[in-house]
Structure 1
Amino acid sequence: MTSGSGTPAVTSPVPRPVWESVLGSDPDAVVSQSLAWRDALFASQRYQDVSLLYELPTGARVILPMARRRHRPPWAAPTGSWPGPWGVGGPICEGGRISEAEAAAVLADVAQRGLLSVHIQLRHGDDSAWARAAQRFRATRHGCHVLDLDGGFGEVWQHRFRGTARTAIRKAERSGLDIEVDRSGRLLPVFSDLYEKSIQRWAAMQHEPLWLSRWRTLRATPAAMMAAVAWSFGDNCAVWLARSAGVPVAGLIVLRHGPYVKYWRGAMNKELAAPVRANEYLHRLVIEDACEQGYRYYEMGHSRPSSPLAAFKEKLGATLQVSHALQAERLPIHAAVEMSREMAKRMIGFRDV
């Protein structure tokens, strides 16, 4: 722990009981800030826990989830909140409250830690104080689709689902789909088979070599990561699977924490799933279950505005919520990576979809 006059006391890594206490007091905490998510991340042994607990002079406590690659010093490895495919980290605030001055004190400490680079993905709706206090960071905007479940499933069905979604779901109900829900991880291999079919479809849509699409996708979400998430979340991780004539056609992995149900991963055999509207039907069932269990939001994740994926989520009543990512670095690593990525896309004729 470090402290000084007028400065926060800092502890790293964050003791588990403290994380649990602060998390439980923050009404806006999202699934990827939960202890189960943290446990899944570190189960791979690929990352080191460098999360920070700030105890501010005002008495407020703030946790900043942080991780970086193991066996690398802070000046030689990027630090993320969270890293890459692990998504939204960002501050967890005791009582859900933070002033601009408190946010500035936390970010000032992060910026002076001598890290090679640091990336903080703020949760949606958490931007105001943190964005205003981030003068030493570069802020970029992102979109996250969230469905408000207030009023229960009847309200969602009647007033938030679009007519096209209700029509698709009614068609699915007449298609004789069999639905199975597994909370043990048993269906993960079946989901992985569908995921491979999705990778093949994404590669063709994006005009990307299949080997590259497979490498990128499985690097972000390997089977071991799915297994770790299922183990860590236990009953709060569910694989929803739709079968048509006994054949798996679509699947979702859904996580739960606090007021949120999170649509984490989806996959399908489009040739079989699309005619029977299996995807719409699975989401309908997940949303109804979330409403019955008293959850407040269905988080559907990031998607590019105006993309087909964004349109699908909006058809189901999700609205685009703005969030920000904060980036600080000693060397222009981010710019170099982005330039390399854009050059590679141009070389292969990559299409964003």
Structure 2
Amino acid sequence: MPDGRRALLPLVRRTYPTGGSAILQSLPKGWGFGGLIAPDGVTAGLVSAVFDDLTATPALRIHFRPNPLDAAAWAEAAAERTGITAVPARAHVLDLDGGFDQVWRDRFKASTRTAVRRAERAGVEVETDTTGRLVPVFHALLQRSFDRWARLQHEPVRLARFRGRHRDPATKFATIAARLGMGCRVSVAWFDAHPVAAVLVLHGGANAHYTRGAMDETRAFPTANRLLHTVAIENACRDGCRSYHMGESGVSPGLARFKEYFGAEPYDYCEYWLERVPMYRADRALRDCVKRAIGFHDV
């Protein structure tokens, strides 16, 4: 590395059915953020060295979805190169500095604290597990969410279910729980003895990442999700995490508003495609055309 530091870039390989060159991704869509793991921090020099190394691979396309908190280093390195497509994105991150008491008092909105207390008084209980025992409960709620997302996004239900099962099979979360152990926390909110909502949060070093959430809207107590995230944020503070990543927000005002209830702030960053043949724009245009045809829209 040019500045004497070392870094690791986890990549997931996807090979075309025809046997063609692979796509390398860090990380694929639906898997959260990737990018560099650098004990001494991510710098533009480290990112540039990784670009140099991966340019020499036979991969047809390489996709980077870095930690939004490292956006400046990635932007500086990408600006010096050609052949890289930068795709604007936005995520929300909650600063955990000062511990949970300070986060609760100074960053949570007053309406959120009220909502959490209301859920507790109503008898909503949150159970958290790190053994994988609650993964089947979480996944059952996730499957119920597919239909709700389809309705909100004006997407055909069958298409939403197919995409959901393909992106989030039960084996995916069972594997994550088995491999990460204490680093994978599944929290389930119970109301009237029924599971009504759940979140899966990954812990690693300074970061906690809210990876996926789900709910049963036919049974859910209105503020159960706010209680769930409050418990997850408290757990992250207890584990010494400094940031609680609440995931991609895109242009959805509803998602942004929900995350900002907890004091999470928006971070603009870019995803990057390193391509031998410029395919991203054509692929994006095709996807947008399909969305327009079915009336799909972000919420």
Using the size of structure 2 for normalisation, the TM-score is 0.91
Q: Tell me, in whole angstroms, the C-alpha distance in 1 between the residues paired with 2:118 and 2:31.
A: 35
Q: Tell me, in whole angstroms, the C-alpha distance in 1 between the residues paired with 2:41 and 2:18.
A: 32
Shift of 1:92: 2.5
RMSD of equivalent CA atoms: 2.1
Q: Tell me, in whole angstroms, the C-alpha distance in 1 between the residues paired with 2:258 and 2:41.
A: 31
Conserved? CA contact 1:145–1:299, under 8 Å: yes
Match of 1:88 in 2: 33
Gaps of 5+ in 2: none
2:111 matches 1:168:
no
Match of 1:215 in 2: 162
Match of 2:55 in 1: 111
Q: Which amino acid aligns with 2:132?
A: G
Q: Tell me, in whole angstroms, the C-alpha distance in 1 between the residues paired with 2:101 and 2:296.
A: 42
Match of 2:274 in 1: 328
Work out which of the residue numbers 106, 118, 127 in structure 1 matches 2:71: 127
Conserved? CA contact 2:7–2:36, under 8 Å: yes
Higher relative contact order (CA 8 A, sep 6+): 2
Conserved? CA contact 2:154–2:297, under 8 Å: yes
2:149 matches 1:202:
yes
Conserved? CA contact 2:124–2:221, under 8 Å: no
Match of 1:227 in 2: 174
Q: Tell me, in whole angstroms, the C-alpha distance in 2 between the residues paired with 1:345 and 1:71.
A: 24
Q: Tell me, in whole angstroms, the C-alpha distance in 2 between the residues paired with 1:352 and 1:343.
A: 14
Matches within 5 A, 1:31-50: none
Q: Which amino acid aligns with 1:318?
A: A
Number of aligned residue pairs: 296
Conserved? CA contact 1:140–1:325, under 8 Å: yes
Structure ID, larger Rg: 1
Match of 2:91 in 1: 144
Conserved? CA contact 2:16–2:22, under 8 Å: no
Q: Tell me, in whole angstroms, the C-alpha distance in 1 between the residues paired with 2:263 and 2:219.
A: 25
1:245-285 deviation per Cα after TM superposition (whole angstroms, max 9, x unaligned): 1111111111111012221111111232243x110011111
Q: Tell me, in whole angstroms, the C-alpha distance in 1 between the residues paired with 2:257 and 2:242.
A: 22
Q: Tell me, in whole angstroms, the C-alpha distance in 2 between the residues paired with 1:151 and 1:58.
A: 32
Give secondary structure in 1 for the equivalent of 2:30.
helix
Pair 99,206 (structure 1): closer, same or farther in 2 beyond 3 Å:
closer
Q: Identity over the aligned pairs, expressed in percent? A: 42
Pair 148,77 (structure 1): closer, same or farther in 2 beyond 3 Å:
same
Gaps of 5+ in 1: 1-55
Q: Tell me, in whole angstroms, the C-alpha distance in 2 between the residues paired with 1:302 and 1:237.
A: 19
Give secondary structure in 2 for the equivalent of 1:264.
strand
Q: Which amino acid aligns with 1:307?
A: P
Shift of 1:94: 4.6
Conserved? CA contact 1:144–1:321, under 8 Å: yes
Q: Tell me, in whole angstroms, the C-alpha distance in 1 between the residues paired with 2:49 and 2:99.
A: 40
Match of 2:102 in 1: 155
Q: Tell me, in whole angstroms, the C-alpha distance in 2 between the residues paired with 1:57 and 1:206.
A: 46
Work out which of the residue numbers 283, 289, 293 in structure 2 matches 1:347: 293
Match of 2:237 in 1: 291
Shift of 1:97: 4.9
Q: Which amino acid aligns with 1:156?
A: V
Matches within 5 A, 1:200-279: 200-275=147-222, 277-279=223-225
Q: Tell me, in whole angstroms, the C-alpha distance in 1 between the residues paired with 2:153 and 2:105.
A: 35
Using the size of structure 1 for normalisation, the TM-score is 0.78
